[in-house]
Amino acid sequence: MDADVWNEQVAKDYDESSAHMYKPEVLSPAVAFLERRVGRHPALEFAVGTGRVALPLSARGVRVVGIEKSQPMAQELGKKPGGDDVAVTIGDMTTSQVPGVFSLVYLVYNAITCLLSQEEQVACFRNAARHLEPGGRFVIEVFVPELQRLPPGETARPFHIGDQHVGFDTYDLLNQQVVSHHYTIVDGRGSTFLSPHRYVWPSELDLMAQLAGLRLSERWADWAKTPFTATSRSHVSVWQKPFDGSVAL
């Protein structure tokens, strides 16, 4: 994941540009889902960002630590109420390690796709497995690639249309890449933000988990546990580390 994409200006405007993700009907189910899956040890968030999920989860009494590649994003988290309670390690979620053992490692809002190669995504699973206690869980929230909704020759699809934000993705089908385009207007001021991603299928993620020694235990269409079907546009998946503690390196 290129930290230059998540620079100081993007970090400063991130919460406003992602305001739709802070709505209670979006955020509260995510926090509740994660809280119910935290065991006796803390939770670790990969790509913790400005703390959209980490801070309300911490406010519920869960000890949360994070890994974040972008220093400006982490600084924005630190400025918020409760920010001092979430210890953040600056580093890459594919390789950085933090002290301790965790009941839960999680990665939300499509952040797994910020890793632009299959090799990096596999490394992320292995790093999650290294941090988990036996029986611990790795949770990912990510979109399902919209390829079945692309007519022949079309490469762009909208993913959000709101009063202050419009977003659409452009697909490179040959290289399994997608660029997310965000156009935001707040108080009459417009901004644009483009971020590259590598889209990934649920079955491919399951294979990555298997390579890391993790096993699929849950898959839902959203945080509210709507059943996952062939027409679901996103999924929340949970993989578990075996209780014997074995893990692929």
What residue has token string 């999680």?
Answer: 106
Q: What is the pLDDT of residue 128?
A: 98
Closest CA to 237 of 198, 212, 210, 205: 205
Contact 74, 52 (CB under 8 A): no
The better pLDDT of the pair 165, 46 is held by: 46
Instruction: Judge whether residue 74 has pLDDT over 80.
Output: yes
pLDDT band at residue 249 under the 50/70/90 scheme = low
Q: Which of 123, 165, 121 is nearest to 142 (CA)?
A: 121
Please check the confidence at residue 98 and state whether its pLDDT lies above 80. Answer: yes
Residue 248: per-residue pLDDT: 55
Q: How far apart are CA 55 and CA 37, in angstroms?
A: 17
Class of the domain covering 8-145+201-240: alpha beta
Q: Is the pLDDT at 38 greater than 60, yes or no? A: yes
Length of the chain: 249
Domain limits of the chain?
Answer: 8-145+201-240, 148-193
174-206 as b/e: b if 16+ CB within 10 A = eebbbebbbebeeeeeeeebebebbbbebeebb
Could you tell me the pTM of the whole model? 0.89
Lowest mean pLDDT of 4-13, 68-77, 120-129, name the range.
Answer: 4-13
Q: What is the pLDDT of residue 1?
A: 44
Nearest to 68 by CA among 51, 87, 91: 91
Distance of alpha carbon 6 from alpha carbon 12, whole angstroms: 10
With 70 as the cut, is the pLDDT of residue 92 above it?
A: yes
Percent over 90 (pLDDT), the chain: 72
